[in-house]
A and B are shown apart, each in its own frame.
Chain A
Amino acid sequence: MGNMIKLKGALNPLPTLTWNFLKLNQVDVDWDIDLNRRGDMIIQNIPRGVSVKMNGGILDNVSGAAGSLTTELMEKEKVETLGIRVEAGVCAEVPLKLNYVLGEGDGMLRRQEIVAYEGSEVTVAMDYTAGRTESGFFGIQTKLLAKKGSIIRLIKTNLLGDKYLHFEDIAGIAEDGARIELIEMELGGGKNYIGTGIELSGAKSSFVGNVGYLCRGQKIMDMNYLVRHTGRKSESSFKLRGAMRDSSIKNFRGTIDFRRGAKGAKGDEQEESILLSRDVRNKTLPIILCDEEDVEGTHGANIGRLSEDVLFYMGSRGIEKSEVEALMTKAKLDSVRRLISDQVTQGRIQQFMEEALDHA
């Protein structure tokens, strides 16, 4: 039997408020969740110099963009933290893989931390999988601390079932000269609430984010990304690419927050989305907050239907419109998929996309 819990409150709050009519200031949730703690986590390829164990978290003070509700839930449900520590100077060549395998009706909460000590480098790949039409719940919180000169590369592949309720809370800090890279493929799930907050506190620290998404069917994709620049000469670059079809809903909030003192900081955020159905609803809110003079912030967005030029060009090669749409969707997502080196994950993504686009 299950363990019904209530999750009530706000997710993905905006760092600054705007008009209420836009309904982007936060997401009010009131969910009854069957937290039966079924679902598995399988850890593969623990590299030399990397330790993985269940213990108390040390990054309690690190918070991201998903709001306090997720942390409150983790505490209340006493979810243990999986601690991943990368020793100083260690360069882990093979990615550490965390496979989250879920099935019909599963409900799981997970909490993990990655601490990369001075000068180390690690890649952690998280694959979330469930059957394509399955329902369930998966909530996960990942905290990152990249110490001086280290690199953390976090890869997330969401291949959950169409009726899955999923929230993600990623919060990270990069110290002097450290770098956090995020590669995210948001393909599955029914209702997805993704909150990612990265603080570039160190001098010359950096963040590179590449997110690919596919919204189809009745899917809801609610995203709140925040990059806070507090370190001098810190740099961030964020790219969101994807496609929307059927009657899916996407809310994308992306904020670059330049705090006073972040002299010489640079931040860039770009979105490219193609809309493939009359019934989609896309909201985009790209925010720049600037409390420092000596910075460069840029934003760009390109959202809309496939261009006539593309359709005509492809048409002149005998390709039908529906096929052009599938091709262009793949092209958008492939630009992110290619950043993932793991062959198994690549294969899973490929298979998921073929099915998803076939059943469109």
Chain B
Amino acid sequence: MSDSKAGVKDVDLSIYDFRYEEKDFYRVDEGLTEDIVRQISKEKKDPEWMADFRLESLETYRKMDIPEWGPDISGLNMDDIVTYVRPNTEMKAKWSDVPDDIKNTFERLGIPDAERKSLAGVGAQYDSELVYHNVKEEVKEQGVVYTDMESALTNYEDMVREHFMKLVPPTDHKFAALHGAVWSGGSFVYVPPGVSVEIPLQSYFRLNAPGAGQFEHTLIIVSEGADLHFIEGCSAPKYNVANLHAGCVELYVGKNAHLRYSTIENWSKNMYNLNTKRAICEEGALMEWVSGSFGSHVSYLYPMTILKGDNSHVEFTGITFAGKGQNLDTGSKVIQIGKNTSSAIDTKSISKDGGISTFRSAVTIMPDADNAKTSISCASLMLDDRSRSDTVPALDIRTQDADVGHEAKIGRISDDAIFYLMSRGISENEARAMIVSGFANPVSKELPLEYAVEMNNLIHLEMEGN
């Protein structure tokens, strides 16, 4: 393909699949005990309330069952997951101070490059700790705070305490409880009232140590009338031991504020991705999610939005590509509480080489949500007869005053479309890749250019097979 946005050929798959030897790392014992949780608290110098919070969460975790719906996660043995792996370096403010092997990892992923080009700030998390952090001066001058969660816990303790796991309480589900007990690292962003951050903030997560879990916490507060685009990218090299990611993202979108949260997830294909993301919107706020799921062995991912304030809105655009050995259960949840709220969910899923993709959603319209609107549209593409694609969109409407539209489509690439493209001299494989890219285009066009290119690369890689 020649168009820059439409993708680049001959992508080197190995850039997503490399690793460095771990050495001199501090590791806690495998498995999860009260002692381990205390050890984490001590190591991280938690304030007392946080130390207590962790222990309570552990208690909750023990009491809760794993879900009986969704993909099988029996391959995940919690005793094997090392909850806390810390790289042997302190957080660095200058890229040059980051140790070479870690730096190489990020450089191969193009992170500093991307930062130099167009990003206001980059936070890169390596295993459980943030190793590199930098925010452009002009953004700092606007009063924007972008730091790691540990520093935030020290420097902005009140703000953290007021918001931390209030949107996603540990009782939400078993893995939220686990997160509450062992969370580590992540980003904290505060945008003051009326401030528009012109260029996106970005964080990049990467798991390197085998058998390590990653439990980063992202807390973003966008104040009244403020505007932010936050980009999250994830990847992990391949190991034979199962990896667990149970991060948590909490987004507070203030009155008339706007937040766009974009994610391209390309965890290695042995990852259990049990991430919880949630946003709450005050009056007149707009929340936009752009979500691409390509990696992981198993995913449970349903970013949720609570439209609390009147006239608040959410748009969710997502794509999921399930290839060989993948079972990706993704979608979105919305609760509409305020009057004149609207939600739009638009997703695409692709299944190939025995991959399973499930679109799952739930939109609830509460009794006082007068004049609520929702539209849910999901399209699935089956690329062969060994794969599977399910669509499970639920609607719970508790008021008359709603306008609900739903559309679902499932099918394959039509032979006629292939023939049409081939009659113009395009090879069959290329024709298929073009049609799949076209299918994914509504998502990639919502992404910043370099991410759109990365996404198209991923699609082409997947299409070329193994």
Option from B384, B390, B396 in Cβ contact (under 8 Å) with A289:
B390
Stretch at the interface among A213-221, A290-298, A310-318: A290-298
Alpha-carbon distance A293/B390, docked complex (angstroms):
12
Stretch at the interface among A13-21, A90-98, A232-240: A13-21
Inter-chain contact B408/A288, CB cutoff 8 Å: yes
Inter-chain contact A284/B394, CB cutoff 8 Å: yes
Inter-chain contact B404/A290, CB cutoff 8 Å: no
As a 0/1 sequence over residues 379 to 422 of chain B, the CB contacts with chain A under 8 angstroms (1 = contact) are 01011110111111111111111111111111110000000000
Quick check: is B367 within 8 A (CB to CB) of the other chain? Answer: yes
Alpha-carbon distance A289/B358, docked complex (angstroms):
9
Shortest CB–CB separation between residue B442 and chain A, in angstroms?
18
The count of chain B contact residues (Cβ–Cβ below 8 Å) is 37
Which chain B residue shows the least CB distance to A250? B397
Option from A280, A285, A301 in Cβ contact (under 8 Å) with B392:
A285
Inter-chain contact A299/B391, CB cutoff 8 Å: yes
Quick check: is B72 within 8 A (CB to CB) of the other chain? Answer: no
Interface of B is mostly: strand
- Contacting B at CB under 8 A, from A245-303, are 258, 260, 263, 275-303
Question: B residues within 8 A CB of A263?
Answer: 385
Quick check: is A24 within 8 A (CB to CB) of the other chain? Answer: yes
Question: B residues within 8 A CB of A16?
Answer: 69, 390, 392
Which chain A residue shows the least CB distance to B68? A17
Inter-chain contact B394/A300, CB cutoff 8 Å: no
Quick check: is B362 within 8 A (CB to CB) of the other chain? Answer: yes
Inter-chain contact B69/A18, CB cutoff 8 Å: yes
Question: B residues within 8 A CB of A294?
Answer: 385, 412
Alpha-carbon distance A25/B394, docked complex (angstroms):
11
Quick check: is A1 within 8 A (CB to CB) of the other chain? Answer: no
Shortest CB–CB separation between residue A116 and chain B, in angstroms?
31
Quick check: is B360 within 8 A (CB to CB) of the other chain? Answer: yes
Quick check: is A37 within 8 A (CB to CB) of the other chain? Answer: no
Quick check: is A304 within 8 A (CB to CB) of the other chain? Answer: yes
Question: A residues within 8 A CB of B405?
Answer: 301-302
Shortest CB–CB separation between residue A19 and chain B, in angstroms?
6
Shortest CB–CB separation between residue B451 and chain A, in angstroms?
29
Alpha-carbon distance A275/B371, docked complex (angstroms):
12
Question: A residues within 8 A CB of B401?
Answer: 278, 305
A275-B397, A293-B387, A301-B404 as given contacts; A18 in contact with B411, CB under 8 Å: no
Quick check: is A22 within 8 A (CB to CB) of the other chain? Answer: yes
Q: Which of B68, B70, B387, B406 has the most C-beta atoms of chain A within 10 angstroms of its own C-beta?
A: B406
Question: A residues within 8 A CB of B380?
Answer: 288, 290
Inter-chain contact B396/A287, CB cutoff 8 Å: no
- Contacting A at CB under 8 A, from B41-78, are 68-70
A275-B402, A290-B382, A304-B404 as given contacts; A297 in contact with B410, CB under 8 Å: yes
Which chain B residue shows the least CB distance to A292? B385
Question: B residues within 8 A CB of A300?
Answer: 406-408
Which chain A residue shows the least CB distance to B401? A305
User: Which 6 pairs show the lowest CB-CB distances between chains A and B?
Assistant: A17-B69, A299-B408, A301-B406, A297-B410, A303-B404, A293-B382
Task: Show 23 residue pairs from A and B whose CB-CB distance is below 8 angstroms, ordered by the A residue.
Answer: A17-B69, A18-B69, A18-B360, A18-B394, A275-B399, A275-B400, A279-B400, A280-B399, A282-B398, A285-B393, A288-B390, A289-B391, A292-B382, A292-B385, A293-B382, A293-B385, A293-B387, A295-B411, A296-B411, A298-B407, A299-B409, A304-B400, A305-B402
Beyond known contacts A280-B398, A282-B397: 17 more, CB 8 A cutoff: A18-B394, A19-B69, A21-B362, A24-B394, A278-B400, A279-B367, A282-B396, A288-B410, A292-B385, A294-B412, A295-B411, A298-B407, A298-B410, A299-B407, A300-B407, A301-B406, A304-B402
Interface residues of A (CB under 8 A from B): 16-22, 24-25, 258, 260, 263, 275-305
